[in-house]
């Protein structure tokens, strides 16, 4: 019998995809929602709502329901803590949580995982439950990268590895060997909007390579709760930025709704390449 799983759902399409996958697998699950997070789940399912200030009572509720494992799916912004809402048992966790809130995303997520594991839950990643979300190596679209695109991808991979070492970002845009933008806290969409609005003029040869956006996990990144994700919206943003294609790190980046994403890429004449480092 498969263990009861709690899906800690954030915004975006990933929670709904996991719900669909678990239903197809005949797996039992409950959905939990952090206060302030907007969900996009069909059918208005029943959800268990919780807040960070009362984390221990939330753990108690999951145990009461019989939850054995937890999966985090979707985007969640850092909540502002309200000291007046903290219960005494959860207050004991603050010396560990507060410093983590002041660090990068990876440090915070590792602290959160540790608390769930110490509470007796097995923490798994979305890719553990739906492995088809993560493509292996290869060109996934009808159009493939040129030699110039492959050179730009290699340069972008170097940049992302350097950024990831200091827990900054998971993406970069490179055209004709030049870095047009890097991903920071606002995320991939903001980076690509900036390229579309500002950085397009940075290409030295208007007739040369249009450039690529590269997405990869940070070195040592906790992939169970923070694996990079792309989807059809990423394709639209890359096309608006005038890029030739999207490159992702094979085996360490999820594609949400792969069929729709690849269809969008083919329609836009963009390539999507899962590249080995």
**The pTM is what?**
0.84
Cα(261)–Cα(141) distance, integer angstroms: 10
Q: What is the pLDDT along the chain (277 residues), one digit of tens a residue?
A: 578 999 999 888 899 999 999 999 999 999 999 888 888 888 778 899 999 899 999 999 999 999 999 999 988 777 777 888 999 999 998 888 777 776 666 677 788 889 999 999 999 999 999 999 999 999 999 999 999 999 999 999 999 999 988 878 899 999 999 999 999 988 999 999 999 998 767 778 888 999 999 999 988 888 888 899 999 999 999 999 999 999 999 999 999 989 999 999 999 999 999 999 8
CA dist list (Å): 12 to 37, 39, 164, 229: 10, 7, 23, 10
pLDDT score recorded for residue 196: 94
212 SS3 class:
strand
pLDDT score recorded for residue 3: 83
CA dist list (Å): 266 to 88, 195, 196, 236, 263: 55, 21, 20, 11, 5
pLDDT score recorded for residue 31: 96
pLDDT score recorded for residue 12: 86
- Whose structure tokens read 């719900």? 19
Cα(133)–Cα(252) distance, integer angstroms: 10
Cα(56)–Cα(97) distance, integer angstroms: 13
pLDDT score recorded for residue 107: 72
Q: Which long-range contacts (CB under 8 A, 24 or more apart) does 159-168 make?
A: 159/214, 160/214, 160/215, 160/216, 160/218, 161/216, 161/219, 161/277, 163/218, 164/216, 164/217, 164/218, 164/219, 164/221, 165/218, 165/219, 167/103, 167/104, 167/105, 167/106, 167/107, 167/218, 168/104
pLDDT score recorded for residue 87: 92
Residue 245 structure tokens: 């294609």
pLDDT score recorded for residue 199: 75
Domain 4-129 shares a fold with domain 134-275 = no
Q: What is the CATH number of domain 4-129?
A: 3.40.50.20
Taking alpha carbons only, the member of 206, 210, 209 closest to residue 195 is 210
Kindly list the domain boundaries of the chain, sorted by start residue.
4-129, 134-275
pLDDT score recorded for residue 200: 67
Task: Name the CATH topology of 134-275.
Answer: Cytidine Deaminase; domain 2 (3.40.140)
Q: Are strands 229-230 and 29-34 parallel, antiparallel or unpaired?
A: unpaired
Radius of gyration of the chain from Cα atoms?
A: 20
Element holding 34 (H helix, E strand): strand 29-34
Residue 148 phi/psi, 5° resolution?
-65, -40
Residue 250 structure tokens: 């094979």
- H helices present in the chain, as ranges: 14-25, 55-65, 88-91, 94-101, 105-118, 126-129, 147-164, 188-197, 223-226, 232-240, 258-267
> Which DSSP symbol is given to 225?
H
């Amino acid at each position: 019998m498969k263990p009861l799983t709690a899906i800690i759902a954030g915004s975006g399409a990933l929670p709904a995809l996991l719900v669909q996958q678990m239903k197809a697998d005949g797996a039992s699950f409950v959905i939990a929602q952090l206060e302030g997070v907007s969900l996009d789940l069909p059918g208005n399912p029943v959800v268990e709502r919780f807040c960070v200030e009362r984390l221990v009572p939330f753990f108690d509720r999951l145990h009461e329901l019989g939850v054995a494992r937890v999966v985090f799916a979707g985007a969640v912004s850092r909540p502002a803590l309200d000291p007046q809402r903290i219960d005494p048992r959860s207050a004991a966790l603050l010396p560990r949580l507060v410093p983590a809130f002041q660090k990068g995303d990876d440090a915070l997520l590792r602290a959160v995982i540790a608390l769930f594991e110490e509470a007796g839950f097995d923490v798994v990643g979305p890719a553990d439950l739906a492995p088809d979300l993560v493509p292996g190596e290869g060109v996934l679209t009808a159009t493939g990268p040129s030699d110039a695109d492959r050179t730009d991808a290699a340069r972008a991979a170097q940049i992302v590895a350097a950024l990831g070492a200091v827990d900054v970002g998971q993406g970069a845009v490179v055209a004709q060997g030049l870095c047009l933008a890097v991903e920071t806290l606002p995320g991939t969409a903001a980076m690509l909007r900036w390229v579309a609005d500002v950085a397009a003029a940075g290409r030295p040869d208007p007739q040369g390579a249009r450039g690529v956006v590269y997405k990869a996990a940070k070195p040592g990144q906790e992939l169970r709760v923070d694996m990079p994700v792309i989807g059809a919206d990423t394709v639209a943003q890359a096309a608006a930025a005038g890029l030739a294609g999207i490159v992702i790190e094979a085996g360490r980046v999820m594609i949400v709704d792969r069929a729709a994403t690849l269809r969008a890429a083919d329609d836009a004449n963009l390539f999507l390449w899962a590249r080995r480092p």
